[in-house]
């Protein structure tokens, strides 16, 4: 049986140590931090091929037309895969999920606490997209179920769509194309603009925002961005301190933020009024980020000249004619009736390239977890990886654990690089005599190179 060795984020240097300051090593129950460097034959160790213990054939459920590459990846590892094109409702999941060990979804299927309560075999969840707000992450973590996503793979596809939308809005392309399809010839230049020299405001300067920033500057756009953290700009982009500053200076405002309590309706009546008259709003983030009735009012009043919306508060569960209607969202027909409004069915990441890369990334994460217990990239779980260890290192770890077994070990971390291994442990409630004893016993172990104790 192999145990996963935790890889703690933030320990990038092979000789990292930690210490907890105390005033007295005896009276105030100090914490002892011990860092140990040892010899190891790790280079000669062979990784073990692992399989889940006391579990039959692993059965996976893939919904929402997840890429065929992902399906083949899972099958190549011997998993049984049930693959469906449509999203499932909560009731369907509650009825059928009990037989599955893993599930892969995109953005439409909702994994709620109720669903998880009916999934006794479920080991992991894969979101084949950027967002994870369709999963109850807290409930999943409490059930011991790590959730994986693909935070990078569709960034380029979304960024390119935004550039296309900016140009289409500036030139009123959708309206002119619709008129031509109806046989109408309406050649106009009023209200149509080049984007060169205009200002693009990016709200959320993450993976998509930064790629968009570079593309936009290539078109001659001036780029401003607002983010809740300070981020180094790419190119000539400039970070502004407040959202209001960005809104008041931008000709185009594009949103790239997750759905969080603080981002729901972050663009509403007040924020729309702060935008420049004649500006354009683009939302390719999450549907609840924008107050749509307020946006409709701003468009009808002429304060905004257009918008592009790819995400909506409520979206159909499957492709269907007439599905985007007032029963789904009460304002649907009002929004659809307005000029220079681009509406797309959540296609930001819907390119062959993005779906292939997402399929590869998430299927790899799920497979590594199912077969090895590895959790790097999990959004709701400690990130732990399994490394091959030699017999010498295993013996040393056993010796160290025996030495520490009489004390309260708060944390312990070990890793190896080449023929060196490194172990770090935090131990509480130790006296000065304990510290001396621990040092002597650790120092005398056969593989030890250096032992440092911090109090």
Residues assigned a catalytic role: 286, 315, 346
- Which residues are 135's β-sheet partners? 111
Tokens, residue 354: 């993005």
Which DSSP string do the residues of 294-348 spell out, in sequence order?
A: HHHHHHHTTSEEEEEE---SS--SS--TT-SSTTTSTTHHHHHTSTTEEE-SS-T
> What is the rounded end-to-end Cα distance, in angstroms, of the chain?
35
- Residue 139 CB neighbours (<10 A): 17
Instruction: Tell me the C-alpha distance between 402 and 415, whole Å.
Output: 19
Instruction: Tell me the C-alpha distance between 408 and 430, whole Å.
Output: 9
**Total residues found in the chain within this entry:** 455
- For residues 116 and 136, the answer to whether their CB atoms sit within 8 Å is yes
- Residue 328 CB neighbours (<10 A): 13
- Which residues are 385's β-sheet partners? 5
CA distances from 281 to 242, 250, 310 (A): 17, 10, 11
CA distances from 363 to 60, 72, 149, 377 (A): 11, 10, 10, 12
CA distances from 175 to 186, 187, 325 (A): 10, 11, 20
Rg (CA), the chain: 27
Task: Residue 37: name the closest of 406, 414, 404, 410 by CA.
Answer: 414
């Amino acid at each position: 049986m192999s145990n996963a060795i935790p890889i703690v984020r933030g320990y990038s240097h092979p000789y990292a140590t930690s210490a907890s300051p105390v005033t007295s090593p005896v009276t105030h129950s100090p914490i002892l931090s011990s860092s140990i460097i040892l010899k190891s034959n790790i280079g000669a160790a062979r990784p073990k091929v692992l399989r889940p213990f006391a579990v039959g054939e692993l059965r996976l459920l893939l919904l929402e037309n997840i890429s065929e590459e992902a399906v083949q990846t899972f099958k190549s590892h011997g998993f049984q895969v049930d693959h469906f094109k449509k999203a499932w409702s909560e009731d369907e999941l509650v009825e059928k999920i009990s037989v599955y060990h893993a599930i892969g979804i995109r953005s439409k299927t909702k994994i709620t606490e109720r669903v998880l309560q009916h999934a006794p075999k479920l080991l992991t969840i894969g979101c084949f997209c950027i967002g994870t707000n369709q999963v109850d992450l807290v409930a999943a973590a409490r059930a011991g179920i790590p959730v994986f996503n693909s935070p990078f793979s569709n960034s380029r596809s979304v960024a390119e769509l935004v550039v296309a939308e900016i140009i289409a809005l500036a030139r009123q392309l959708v309206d002119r194309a619709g008129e031509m399809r109806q046989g109408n010839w309406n050649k106009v230049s009023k209200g149509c603009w080049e984007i060169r020299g205009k200002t693009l405001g990016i709200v959320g300067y993450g993976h998509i925002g930064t790629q968009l920033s570079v593309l936009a500057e290539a078109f001659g756009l001036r780029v401003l961005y607002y983010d809740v953290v300070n981020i180094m700009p790419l190119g000539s982009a400039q970070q502004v301190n407040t959202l209001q500053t960005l809104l008041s200076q931008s000709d185009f405002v594009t949103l790239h933020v997750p759905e969080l309590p603080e981002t729901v309706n972050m663009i509403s009546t007040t924020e729309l009024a702060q935008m420049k008259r004649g500006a354009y709003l683009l939302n390719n983030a999450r549907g609840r980020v924008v107050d749509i009735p307020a946006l409709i009012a701003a468009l009808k009043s002429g304060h905004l000249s257009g918008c592009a919306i790819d995400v909506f508060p409520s979206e159909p569960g499957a492709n269907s004619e007439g599905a985007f209607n007032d029963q789904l969202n009460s304002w649907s027909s009002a929004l659809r009736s307005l000029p220079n409004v681009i509406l797309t069915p959540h296609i930001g990441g819907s390119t062959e390239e993005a779906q292939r890369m997402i399929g590869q990334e998430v299927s790899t994460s799920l497979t590594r977890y199912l077969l090895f217990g590895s959790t790097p990239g999990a959004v709701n779980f400690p990130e732990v990886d399994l490394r091959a260890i030699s017999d010498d290192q295993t013996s040393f770890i056993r010796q160290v654990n025996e030495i520490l077994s009489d004390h309260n070990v708060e944390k312990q971390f070990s890793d190896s690089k080449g023929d060196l291994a490194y172990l770090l442990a935090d131990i509480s409630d130790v006296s000065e005599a304990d510290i001396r004893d621990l040092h002597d016993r650790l120092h005398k172990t056969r593989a030890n190179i250096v032992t440092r104790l911090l109090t």
